[in-house]
Amino acid sequence: ANFSEQVVESLPSDMSTGIYYGWACVGNGDVHKMVVSIGWNPFYKNIKKSVETHIIHTFKDDFYGEILSIVITGYIRPEKNFDSVEALISAIQEDIEEAKRQLDLPEHLKLKEDNFFHLPGGKMVNNH
């Protein structure tokens, strides 16, 4: 799930690029573990910075047009280039496993229940 350019441009300018982990919620649904890549994805030679969220959950339907809320709780590694798609896939799998381990720790697990994910009347904030 990718965030819009507007969201990417609103990130703090001093936020390091790289791979982070945390919690994600689609619409008013359940909160799931996630990994998020923030940067230019050198393997694909992106010219625009992106924020790409991988929710560690299998959804039965797509969720295009839904509000995606995330809380970043930790940092895994800086972004880097890879020699092959296989090496990239392997790194992504390692990132997912590291996120799962970290998010099971009490200090991260408690953020899953944060009020951020339970806004009254749905996810509308400032009419967005």
Residue 68 to residues 15, 21, 80, Cα–Cα distance (Å): 20, 15, 26
Is residue 94 flagged as an active site residue? no
Distance from C-alpha of 128 to C-alpha of 124, rounded to nearest angstrom: 5
Task: Quote the DSSP letter at residue 72.
Answer: E
Question: Among 5, 9, 52, 98, which one carries the catalytic annotation?
Answer: 52
Positions annotated as catalytic residues are: 52
